A and B are shown apart, each in its own frame.
Chain A
Amino acid sequence: MTDKDQYKIHQEPFYQAQGNEVTLYEAAYAARLPVMVKGPTGCGKSRFIEYMAWKLNKPLITVACNEDMTASDLVGRYLLDANGTRWLDGPLTMAARIGAICYLDEIVEARQDTTVVIHPLTDHRRTLPLDKKGELIQAHPDFQLVISYNPGYQSLLKDLKQSTKQRFTALDFDYPTSKLETEILSKETGMDAEICAKLVKIGVAARNLKGHGLDEGVSTRLLVYAATLIKGGVEPRDACRMALVRPITDDADIRDTLDHAIDAVFA
């Protein structure tokens, strides 16, 4: 039997609620409804799920989806070994067996035919047929499926099918308000609030440029990086350039504008 404990989250992850998402999630979990979390990159989607798993004291199995992923990467496959074949459960199967929260991160990155395998788990059936093995798994009562996706930058080709979308309840995430984000930064990194407020200001400036040459604004995650660097003794301007500007753009005009914003904020 798999060690359930390794998927448990033992320490409370820091999560600052932006609204009533915690209560809503708890309600969804109580009914074991599948949940979809949407929002731009680095705004705290994964952190939120981690936090909820800790709060509900349930194991969490995370799968980062990608283009090359096939259905068997989720469900499981036969492996060849010296004595013949051996079945290996995939992460989705495992979660359904042990009653974990299965979190499929960036689900749209996976091919559409792959995502169809989750369908039977997300409606009233709550089953997972393993056709190759000839087994029908009845999901554990604690099992819940959560997916995340970022509607922003993906191409037209990468969208969820309606039939997949309509199996989920959804929570919309966005970057927190400046005040809240400042709080998050200073709690997460222990930096003093004044510098955090400045970082947030640069972040807001960059987010205003979204769609004008920037695909995505500076995420909360990058702001945390910047604060961490500053805490580590890096000069604030250098830290901002390294953590906030250089990662998100190669466009000289935007880089110049953001560099100026940094100079204007850190006087």
Chain B
Amino acid sequence: MKTIPEELEVYWQQLDCGFPRVAEVFADCMQEALVRLSGEGVGAYIEYARFLGKMGRGAEPILIFLEEWPGIAKKSGEDALPAIAECIRRMYKSPNGKAITPFLQSLPSVVRRLPARQQLQEYLNLILEFMERTTGSIHGIHQTFASPGLPALFKQIAPLLAQLSLAGLKSWVDYGVRYYSDHPERQIDYFSLQSADSRAVLQRERHGTLLMDNERKLDLYLRGLWQDEDLLIPYSNMFDELRQPVPYYDNLGIRLPDVYNDMHGISGIDRYRATLAHMVGHRRWSTAIFADNFSPFQRMAAEFLEDSRVEYLVMREYPGLRRLFMALHPAPAEDACDPETESGVRHRLTMLSRAILDPQHIYKNTHVIEFAQRFHTLMQESDMNTQEIASLAVSFVARTRRQGDQLAKTHFKDTVVSYRDDNRQMWHFIEEDDEGEVVDQHRKMEPNKDLEGLPPRHYHEWDYNNQSYRPDWVSVYEALHPRGNAADIDKLLAKHASLAKRLKKMLDLLKPQDKVRIRYQEEGSELDLDVALRSLIDFKGGSSPDPRINMSHKTSGRNIAVMVLLDLSQSLNEMAAGSNQSILELSQEAVSLLAWAIEKLGDPFAIAGFHSNTRHDVRYMHIKGFSENWNDEVKGRLAAMEASYSTRMGAAMRHASHYLEKQQADKKLMLILTDGEPADIDSKDGRILIEDAHQAVKELDRKGIYSYCINLDPKADEYVKDIFGKQYSIIDKVAQLPEKLPQLFISLTK
């Protein structure tokens, strides 16, 4: 055991700690504490460390505290201790004792991100509230289960705070607590950033300019200013703290970070533009050269100079880019790198690159000045090419070579130019090595056996609790409905022949009343007698007559597109009251008649059915598309209609609307035929799906789609109004459905 120096003996006594590992580091920690903390602070430090040591959680907490506290106190003040102590005390008193160690471990990085006391306090409150809400209890009195997410959260807190503001963190945490408070495994997944929605919500809350939101702008930028186009593919730089990915492009597209924060007064969008401009420069002016003949330093130098060259050319095209490059390009201090202890190659090259970019640079290094000069002279003579740049680079490396360059430790500070790509397109390799992406090119697509349906589409779902969407919550799978016997439908139609005859009469009345009279025409097909008489009177009276005495006609047709959406959930299999048919059969008849009627009217229409088995599997069955005719194939699908599972209405409506939306029609109508309220087995709160369906109705409305619900549930009054407002009918006697449905449609579109 290490002995405690005499002058620290008194503190050691106070600490009263028996852990040998503590004794080992005590002297060092104490020395730091004595330098950094006030007299009172040292007292509190020892006292609190003593408490941690006696807490019965092993040596970890006290060790971390002893080592980290002086640093933390320096940043957020010694008076932060009571608040932190209170937080730990609450953990200690609850079943969450295990979280104390991760909490202490995460504190230094938290304090680095949240130096203000106020912020720290808010953070601690957030943690306590989180703990409170996720710690489980069986009988509602004593908390008995530890919060599963708490340790996971502490492990992720550093990257989280790097991406999110405190408010953003709050809503991210809130989301996780709300949806996973009763599901420990999922909760851990969420708070350790493993689950997809965790990342999605994080993406939504983070600060900075998101690529996702600005893709179109950047596409336009490439196309408009550079006559270039490519796929912009985002990559995330938030999970890789050590090795930050760098933008690059290959034959699949241009890879950019998914978010840029403002930097040195340059907005995120302009940083994207600078990055794109740089890459376009390479795409236009760089040609790949063989790398094998160059040493690593020579290659690095060639890359720096080539970057400078394309920027020179890019700025010649658009001088305004200079402002962006100048602000974003680091300007390393000339004496920042000590050549005795670290390799200065990057440092020198960055200085050279800066000197080339910035004519007002203040570097005194003769090589830097000379080569910047040479670069400009050469560029003025010709644009040079990559090969020529490489030879300039080689001579720069040769002239500035120093002993220290071979040192393992490289000076990196201020040498990374954030808008430059990794220059992978600049090199050919004669010998293939791990740098080439050869493996990818030979990869074969595995034949996919499961190609029957379309890949899923994801839709948001509305959560009324916090008035926001759950991102990409529902997966909708669309597939063709299996075929049955088309003759069945014809039989059904024949059965309702008399009803069809009545409908036909109504339809004839509805047929396009095409002719519309346009009055007050100077030239037209007929004389408009009223106006003509008036003109004549004016004329006889000596005042100038109105010459527009004719009228003409113009045709205006019906222009309605209809989407019929059928609820095919399990409950349809029940027998309809007062009938010997199931609701499904009646719906089938009704829809057949309706389809027949719409076909007669000539309106474009589509039919689809849906049911759901949790949010991961909403099935959308295509029965008839807008471009299909009402033929045997469609009738066959309708005949094979089956009912099962539950009713997740909102997602189905959103999916249906994306077809209807594309129809060219003045009026768009979505008819939803259902027999009950929206529900699904993974949704405990029945209200959520009702509110979501209501939200879907509002979305449809915004797209110019009129939705109308035909409900077969006699008790529907309780909820249908909440979803569809006034746009619904309830059909109490299901047996009448075949008759009512077409009539309803006709009156809706009159």
Report which A residues bind B (CB closer than 8 A).
70-72, 79-80, 82, 205-206, 208-209, 212-213, 253-254, 256-258, 260-261, 263-267
**In whole angstroms, what is the CA distance A89 to B223 when docked?**
51
What would be 23 A-B contacts, judged by CB atoms less than 8 Å apart? A71-B523, A79-B547, A80-B544, A205-B224, A208-B225, A209-B220, A209-B223, A212-B220, A253-B216, A253-B217, A257-B220, A257-B221, A260-B221, A260-B225, A261-B224, A261-B225, A261-B318, A264-B225, A264-B319, A264-B320, A265-B318, A265-B320, A266-B320
The smallest beta-carbon distance between A70 and chain B, in angstroms, is: 5
Query: Which single residue of chain A is at the shortest CB-CB distance from B214?
Result: A253
**Interface SS of B by simple majority:** helix
A70, A80, A267: the one contacting B323 at CB < 8 Å is A267
Q: Point out the residue from B322, B544, B545 that lies within 8 Å of A267, measured CB to CB.
A: B322
Chain A residues within an 8 Å CB radius of B544: 80
Taken residue by residue from 209 to 250, chain B's Cβ proximity to chain A (1 for < 8 Å, 0 otherwise) reads as 000000011011101110100000000000000000000000
Any A CB within 8 A of the CB of B50: no
The answer, yes or no, to whether B273 is at the interface (CB within 8 Å) is: yes
Q: B698 CB to closest chain A CB, in angstroms?
A: 23
List 8 extra interface pairs beyond A72-B522, A266-B319, A266-B320, CB under 8 A. Answer: A80-B539, A205-B225, A208-B223, A209-B223, A212-B219, A253-B216, A261-B224, A264-B321
> A205-B225, A260-B273 are known contacts. Are A253 and B220 too (CB-CB below 8 A)?
yes
> Which residues in A have their C-beta under 8 angstroms from that of B220?
209, 212-213, 253-254, 257
Complex Cα gap A80–B548 (Å): 12
Is residue B463 contacting chain A, with contact meaning CB distance below 8 A?
A: no
Report if A80-B224 is in contact (Cβ < 8 Å); known contacts: A260-B270, A265-B319, A267-B322.
no
Nearest-Cβ distance from residue B31 to partner chain A, whole angstroms: 56
Chain A residues within 8 Å of B270, by CB: 260
Taken residue by residue from 515 to 546, chain B's Cβ proximity to chain A (1 for < 8 Å, 0 otherwise) reads as: 00000001100000000000000010010110
A70 touches B273 (CB 8 A): no
Q: Please give, as numbers and ranges, the residues of chain B lying within 8 Å of A253 by CB-CB distance.
A: 216-217, 220
- Which of A256, A264, A267 has the largest count of B CB atoms less than 10 A from its CB? A264
Separation in Å of the A102 CB from the closest CB of chain B?
21
A72 touches B523 (CB 8 A): yes
Do A267 and B219 touch across chains, with their CB atoms under 8 A apart? no
Q: A72-B522, A257-B217 are in contact. Are A267 and B224 (CB under 8 A)?
A: no
Write the chain A residue with the least CB distance to B219: A212
Number of B interface residues in the complex (CB < 8 A): 25
Q: In the bound complex, how far is the Cα of B542 from the Cα of A206, in angstroms? A: 58
Q: Which of B225, B320, B545 contacts A80 (CB 8 A)?
A: B545
* B217–A256 CB distance below 8 A: yes
Q: What residues on A are CB-neighbors of B323 within 8 Å?
A: 267
Q: Which residue of A lies closest to B543 (CB)?
A: A82
Q: Chain B CB within 10 Å — which of A70, A72, A263, A266 has the most?
A: A263
Chain A residues whose C-beta falls within 8 Å of the C-beta of B539 in the assembled complex: 80
B531 to chain A, nearest CB (A): 14
How many A-B pairs with Cβ below 8 Å? 61
Specify which chain B residues have a CB less than 8 angstroms from the CB of A209 in the assembled complex. 220, 223-224
* Residues from chain A with Cβ under 8 Å of B217 in the complex: 253, 256-257
Residues on the A chain within 8 Å of B225, using CB: 205, 208, 257, 260-261, 264
The residue in chain A whose Cβ has the minimal distance to the Cβ of B227 is: A208
Scan residues 303-339 of chain B and give those whose CB is less than 8 A from a CB of chain A: 318-323
Question: In the complex the two chains form, what is the Cα distance from A261 to B320 in whole Å?
Answer: 8
B320 touches A263 (CB 8 A): yes
A80 nearest CB neighbor, chain B only: B545
Chain A nearest CB: distance from B508 CB in Å? Answer: 29
A82 to B547, CA, bound (A): 14
- Specify which chain A residues have a CB less than 8 angstroms from the CB of B545 in the assembled complex: 80
A80-B544, A264-B320, A267-B319 given; A70·B522 CB < 8 A: yes
Whole-angstrom CA separation of A212 from B224 in the bound complex: 10
Q: How far is the CA of A70 from the CA of B544 in the complex (A)?
A: 21
Question: In the complex, A258 Cα to B318 Cα: how many Å?
Answer: 13
Which A residue's beta carbon lies closest to that of B218?
A257
Q: Chain A residues near B322 (CB, 8 Å)? A: 267
User: B residues within 8 A CB of A261?
Assistant: 224-225, 318
Contacts of B227 in A (CB 8 A): 208
- Cα-based distance from A58 to B480 in the complex (angstroms): 69
Report yes or no: B224 in contact with A258, Cβ–Cβ below 8 A. Answer: yes
- Taking the nearest CB of chain A, how far is it from the CB of B69, in angstroms? 49
B679-699: contact bitstring with A at CB < 8 Å (1 yes, 0 no)?
Answer: 000000000000000000000
Most buried by B among A72, A260, A263: A260
Docked pose: A80 CA to B543 CA in angstroms:
10
Q: Which 10 A-B pairs have the closest CB atoms?
A: A267-B319, A264-B320, A264-B318, A267-B320, A257-B220, A205-B224, A253-B217, A263-B320, A209-B224, A208-B224
For the complex, give the distance between the alpha carbons of A158 and B545 in Å: 34
Contacts of A263 in B (CB 8 A): 320
User: Is B319's CB under 8 angstroms from A70's CB?
Assistant: no
Complex-state Cα separation, A213 to B216, whole angstroms? 10
CB-defined contacts of A264 to chain B, threshold 8 Å: 225, 318-321
Contacts of A266 in B (CB 8 A): 319-320
Cα separation A212 to B227 with both chains bound (whole Å): 13
Would you call B547 and A80 a contact (CB within 8 A)?
Answer: yes
Which residues of B sit under 8 angstroms from A267, Cβ to Cβ? 318-323
Which residue of the partner chain A has the closest CB to B324? A264
Contact pattern, B 261-289, Cβ under 8 Å of A = 1, otherwise 0: 00000000110010000000000000000
Q: Whole-angstrom distance from the CB of A188 to the nearest CB of chain B?
A: 25
Query: Could you tell me the distance between the alpha carbons of A236 and B214 in the complex, rounded to whole angstroms?
Result: 27
> For residue B524, which residue of chain A has the nearest CB?
A70
Min CB gap B225→A, angstroms = 5
Give the docked Cα–Cα distance between A163 and B223 (Å): 39
Question: Beyond A80-B544, A264-B320, A267-B322, is A257–B523 a contact (Cβ under 8 Å)?
Answer: no
Q: Give the distance in Å from the alpha carbon of A261 to the alpha carbon of B270 in the complex.
A: 11
CA distance A213 to B37 in the complex (A): 63
Q: How far is the CA of A206 from the CA of B522 in the complex (A)?
A: 43
Complex alpha-carbon distance, A64 and B212, angstroms: 46
- In residues 651-672 of chain B, which contact A (Cβ within 8 Å)? none
Nearest Cβ in chain A — how far from B630, in angstroms? 27
Q: Which residues of B contact A265 (CB under 8 A)?
A: 318-320
B657 to chain A, nearest CB (A): 23
> Is B542 a contact partner of A82 (Cβ separation < 8 A)?
yes
B318 pairs with A70, CB closer than 8 A = no
With the chains together, A256 CA to B216 CA distance in Å? 11
Chain A residues closer than 8 Å to B219, beta-carbon distance: 212
- Inside 8 A of B547's CB, which chain A residues have their CB? 79-80
A261-B227 Cα distance, complex, nearest whole Å: 13
Give the complex CA separation of A265 and B321 in angstroms. 8
How far apart are the CA atoms of A82 and B540 in the complex, in Å? 9
Docked pose: A260 CA to B217 CA in angstroms: 10
* A258 to B545 alpha-carbon distance, docked (Å): 53
The CA of A208 and the CA of B273, in the complex, are separated in Å by 17
Smallest CB gap from B315: residue in A: A267
**CA of A209 to CA of B221, assembled, Å:** 9
In residues 611-630 of chain B, which contact A (Cβ within 8 Å)?
none
Report Cα–Cα, A260/B271, bound state, in Å: 12
